Amino acid sequence: MRLVVMWWKMMVAMALLFSFSVATAPALVSRIAFGSCANQTAPQPIWDAIVNFKPQVFIWLGDNIYGDIRRPFKLFGNHRTIGPWKNVPRFLPSSLPDMQSKYHIAKSNPGYTRLRHIANVIGTWDDHDYGLNDAGKEFHMKDANQKLMLDFLDEPLHSPRRKQAGVYASYTFGPEAKQIKVILLDTRYHRDPLRSDGTILGTAQWTWLEKELNGPPSAITIIASSIQVVSNLSACTGPLFYMESWGRFPRERKRLFNLISNSKRDGVFFISGDVHFGEITRYDCGTGYPLYDITSSGLTQAVEKVVPSFLHFVLRFLAWVTPTTMRVMNNNCKHKSCTYGQPNFGAIEVNWDANPVRLRFEVRGVSGEAVNSVTTSLPELEASKKPKPNIKGKQQYCSLEVDLPWLVRHRLAILFFFTVAVVIVVQVGVLYMAISVVVKCLRKCKLD
């Protein structure tokens, strides 16, 4: 009898030990969603598609709310926000109570609430939730707004993010040998002014990032940046307009690529937001393997929403004609330009059961359909000890936009100014013909 009791006690102990080990083992993560640019006052039907994707992790990439105040475009009047005679800024910071109210609206959204119940939600910020459009280290409300942003993310009160200067952080998900490391960068708190070619991350964050990249290895490392890392479309859209990106700080971007390369860390890729359209880009000459950048922007804000639907083809044509050296062009794109200007979110799927492990990067539309995708494998994201053969005819994503020939690089601006010139000439011609007709009529009437 005593042996039976001892046997039962041993079985119960082993069962408890097994159940404890199962309960505390990190869950395998195979689906990650991410997004940016969500105006809290706009309809947000895209949460349904994100929830249906069933992500285990959701990553905010910034502009999680639109906290600043945007004045309308005004060319004339007392408060001119555009033009050579602009006399007031177009964007103004909101008060702290107003920022808090906007965060409350965003957090109370029913779709977002459902997502928070099924996924780990983490994130960083960009300019509009930082507090002011295009702002950097000079912004005076950044410390107060940092607290509000971390409250929005339910950051624990004892978290180091509440004590440090900036919201950068890292997380590791999944069991050993199948871990996914997520590094969240702060591209606002320490950023020098645009066109300065100064720093984006600041000294303390660079030191932290180097430590993170040289830390324990992980199968996959996702570096989340609120602004694009690989693409530098501003080199081809200027002087018409410019977008923020790492490419506008070339020394910082080179330092980032070198840091990844020197760390010998495999499986690294970027995710980004900010630009109000989705695309997938890659750079093959930054490390020993392709560095992908999956851009998803935005959840509510998108370039095609600012014009009537019958003009969408114009924006798609302009996206196609704008030179790009980094964008992945394949048959998985909904549009010929391989950009997507409607509301979207990003999706990452990892097939751990495949041999080799497969990764699928997607930009998905409001209905959940993939509008742009790339499939790769972990071995393809590993630095090869042997030089990779240069396959003739295979596109190499090594040329920077700033190195394109002048005529190619400024093709969009040339097309724009040529079109404007043609319109002006046509208008002058029509006006001349109208005046000529009037003059002839007056002469004829006078003779009569």
Q: Kindly list the distances between the CA atom of residue 252 and the CA atoms of 119, 201, 282, 402, 428, in Å, as whole numbers in the listed order.
A: 33, 8, 18, 15, 48
Separation of alpha carbons 26 and 130, rounded Å: 32
Separation of alpha carbons 297 and 277, rounded Å: 5
Q: Yes or no: say if 366 and 344 are a contact pair by the CB < 8 Å rule.
A: yes
If DSSP codes are grouped into helix, strand and coil, which group holds residue 238?
Answer: coil
Please tell me the predicted confidence (pLDDT) of residue 4.
Answer: 42
Tens-digit pLDDT profile for the chain (448 aa)?
444 444 444 444 444 333 333 334 689 999 999 999 999 999 999 999 999 999 999 999 999 999 999 988 887 877 788 777 777 889 999 999 999 999 999 999 999 999 999 999 999 999 999 999 999 999 999 999 999 999 999 999 999 999 999 999 999 999 999 999 999 999 999 999 998 999 999 999 999 999 999 999 999 999 999 999 999 999 899 888 899 999 999 999 999 999 999 999 999 999 999 999 999 999 999 999 999 999 999 999 999 999 999 999 999 999 999 999 999 999 999 999 999 999 999 999 999 999 999 999 999 999 999 999 999 999 999 986 544 544 444 557 998 898 899 998 989 898 889 999 999 999 999 999 999 888 888 887 876 6
Opening angle at CA 338, ends 332 and 340, nearest 5: 105
DSSP 340: B
If DSSP codes are grouped into helix, strand and coil, which group holds residue 179?
Answer: coil
Nearest alpha-carbon partner for 45 in 339, 342, 306: 342
Please tell me the predicted confidence (pLDDT) of residue 441.
Answer: 86
Separation of alpha carbons 52 and 346, rounded Å: 13
Please tell me the predicted confidence (pLDDT) of residue 56.
Answer: 98
Please tell me the predicted confidence (pLDDT) of residue 80.
Answer: 83
This prediction has a pTM of 0.90
Please tell me the predicted confidence (pLDDT) of residue 212.
Answer: 98
Please tell me the predicted confidence (pLDDT) of residue 106.
Answer: 98
Nearest alpha-carbon partner for 299 in 64, 9, 6: 64
Cis? peptide before 298, omega within 30° of 0: yes
Please tell me the predicted confidence (pLDDT) of residue 447.
Answer: 65
Q: Yes or no: say if 32 and 174 are a contact pair by the CB < 8 Å rule.
A: no
Burial track 123-143 (b if 16+ CB lie within 10 A, e otherwise): bbbbbbbbbbbbbbbebebbe
Please tell me the predicted confidence (pLDDT) of residue 385.
Answer: 52
Residue owning tokens 């039976």: 4
Please tell me the predicted confidence (pLDDT) of residue 16.
Answer: 37
Output phi, psi for 220, to 5 deg: -135, 140
Concatenate the DSSP letters of all residues of 68-122 into one string: SEEPPP-SSSSS--SSTT--S-SEEPPPHHHHHHHHHHHHT-HHHHHHHHHSEEE
In this structure, how many other beta carbons lie within 10 angstroms of the beta carbon of residue 399? 13
Separation of alpha carbons 347 and 33, rounded Å: 5
Please tell me the predicted confidence (pLDDT) of residue 388.
Answer: 52
Q: Yes or no: say if 209 and 185 are a contact pair by the CB < 8 Å rule.
A: yes
Output phi, psi for 370, to 5 deg: -75, 125
